């Protein structure tokens, strides 16, 4: 594998020429992952917030899979909500994805997204592949 690998997934894109994620060795960093198919097209976003949130987590999972990992490899989520009132729905889905409190990744939530029609977005840091198995202690 090249030192740096851009990760693209089917059914998700940014409007700018950037990948969904970048793997550098055993580390994976995503760009902003939202709950639509195309950040520039409001019509590609679900009508319900819960569906948009679920689609965001599905896209994160697809990026992780494409990079050789899974949700089990995530160290941290940085999540932005359009409205703080949507935190309860986020927490419900979060607990469904990570039911064991002793095995959840770190998470930071803030309010404010980069487009009005984007009600939730995130960026993820994960340790994937061989580094996830044996550590990254050089």
Where does the pLDDT of residue 136 fall: very low under 50, low under 70, confident under 90, or very high at 90 and above?
Answer: very low
Hey, how many other C-beta atoms are within 10 angstroms of the C-beta on 49?
19
**Residue 133 confidence (pLDDT) above 60:** no
Q: Cα 45 from chain centroid?
A: 16
Token pair recorded at residue 38: 């195309």
Q: How many distinct structural domains can be found in the chain? A: 1
Give me the domain span that covers residue 125: 4-134
Mean pLDDT of 33-37: 94
Amino acid 135: pLDDT = 47
- pLDDT per residue over 40-79, tens digit each? 789 999 999 999 999 999 999 999 999 999 999 999 999 9
For residue 39, the model assigns a pLDDT of 76
What value does the mean pLDDT take over residues 28-43?
A: 92
Residues 6+ apart with CB under 8 A from 69: 28, 126, 127, 128, 129, 132
Q: Residue 1: its pLDDT value, please?
A: 53
Position 138 confidence tier, pLDDT thresholds 50, 70, 90 = very low
Q: What is the pLDDT of residues 84-129, one digit of tens each?
A: 999 999 999 999 999 999 999 999 999 999 889 999 999 999 999 8
Task: Look up the CATH number of the domain holding residue 89.
Answer: 3.30.1330.40
């Amino acid at each position: 594998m090249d030192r740096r690998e851009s990760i693209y997934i089917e059914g998700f894109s940014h409007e700018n020429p950037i990948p969904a994620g970048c793997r550098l060795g055993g580390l994976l960093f995503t760009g902003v992952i939202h709950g639509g198919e195309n950040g520039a097209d409001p019509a590609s976003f679900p009508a319900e917030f819960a569906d948009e949130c679920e689609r965001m987590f599905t896209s994160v999972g697809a990026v992780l899979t494409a990079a050789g990992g899974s949700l089990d490899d995530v160290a941290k989520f940085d999540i932005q909500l359009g409205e703080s009132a949507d935190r309860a729905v986020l927490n419900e889905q979060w607990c469904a994805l990570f039911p064991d409190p002793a095995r959840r990744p770190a998470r930071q939530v803030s309010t404010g997204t980069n487009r009005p029609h984007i009600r939730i977005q995130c960026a993820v840091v994960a340790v994937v592949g061989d580094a996830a198995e044996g550590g990254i202690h050089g």
